[in-house]
């Protein structure tokens, strides 16, 4: 998923953080707003931490989807050039 936008929506006593991908994918994280002191930037940070924790504690073994997935450490803030990663076999030269 290539993240293109992040939106925070205030709903009653909760915040919904939507991470929106280039292909229309949306991942939503719901947070208890508590005493109303949670601002949008902090809500986004909390939602990122929750998603990283989900991947860190995933108990199901699954094969990597592609080379990027295989090399990913779950750091949503990492600067990664997706064009530098290729799924080409090691014996194929690309230009």
Query: Which tokens in the block code for residue 35?
Result: 């005493």
Q: Does some domain include residue 61? A: yes
Q: Is the pLDDT of residue 95 over 70?
A: no
**Is 12 among the domain residues?**
yes
Q: What is the pLDDT of residue 4?
A: 95
Q: How many CB atoms lie within 10 A of CB 38?
A: 18
Residue 89 maps to a domain: no
> By residue range, what is the domain housing residue 31?
3-84
pLDDT for 33 equals 81
Note whether residue 77 is domain-resident. yes
In this predicted structure, the answer to whether residue 6 has a pLDDT above a threshold of 80 is: yes
Contacts of 38 (CB under 8 A, 6+ apart): 15, 31, 46
Contact 33, 15 (CB under 8 A): yes
**Structural domain includes residue 95:** no
Range 9-36 average pLDDT: 89
pLDDT of residue 45: 92
- Supply 46's token pair: 């909390």
Q: Note the pLDDT of residue 53.
A: 83
Verdict on whether the full-model pTM lies above 0.75: no
Structural domains in the chain (count): 1
pLDDT in tens, 32-84: 887 777 889 999 999 999 888 887 665 566 666 666 666 665 555 555 555 55
Do the domain assignments include residue 59?
yes
Is the per-residue pLDDT at 19 higher than 90?
yes
Could you give the C-alpha distances from 78 to 12, 41, 72, 75, 94, in angstroms and in order? 33, 18, 9, 6, 25
In a domain, 90, yes or no: no
């Amino acid at each position: 998923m290539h993240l293109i936008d992040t939106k925070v929506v205030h709903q009653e006593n909760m915040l919904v953080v939507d991470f929106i991908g280039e292909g229309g994918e949306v991942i939503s994280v719901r947070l208890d707003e508590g005493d109303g002191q949670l601002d949008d930037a902090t809500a986004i940070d909390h939602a990122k931490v929750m998603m990283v924790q989900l991947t860190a504690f995933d108990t199901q073994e699954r094969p990597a989807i592609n080379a990027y997935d295989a090399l990913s450490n779950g750091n949503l803030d990492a600067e990664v050039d997706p064009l530098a990663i290729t799924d080409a076999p090691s014996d194929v030269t690309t230009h």
